[in-house]
Structure 1
């Protein structure tokens, strides 16, 4: 039995978030940022929108693009 360890890293990851308040949206994004730090991903860009429904309720959404952190003198992605 042999152990095969795959060291491929995500280079890009896009995640979508939605919430009924801006505070909840921010909390969701910050929680995912902490999780993605373990994958060596950092935030590259954030796009967000706010929509007001016919009933006057606000709805918030965001798209966060994470990219592989580039460490000084390191080539983790093999490039």
Structure 2
């Protein structure tokens, strides 16, 4: 059996919550986790939409991590 380890070059993660502070906290936690993998934030895209049933704002973010 052969074990091959490759370095991760790119990683994209998506987040969604109904609270902007929770979204910021989730992203900050994931940044710390990805530092161990030697990944840093390349870009962040965020948006807000209104949930059709609850009519509450939903905050979303997509974070692109790249190798250092």
Q: Same fold (TM over 0.5)?
A: yes
Structure 1, unpaired ranges of 5+: 70-79
Q: Aligned-residue CA RMSD in angstroms? A: 1.8
Greater share of helix: 2
Residue by residue, what CA displacement relative to the aligned partner does 1:5-59 show, whole Å, maximum 9, x if unpaired? 62x2110000000110110000000000000000000000000010123443110
- TM-score, normalising length: structure 1: 0.76
1:42 matches 2:40: yes
Q: TM-score, normalised by structure 2?
A: 0.87
Q: Which ranges of 4 or more aligned residues in structure 1 deviate by more than 6 Å?
A: none
Question: How many residues are paired up?
Answer: 67
- Larger strand fraction of residues: 2
Larger Rg: 1
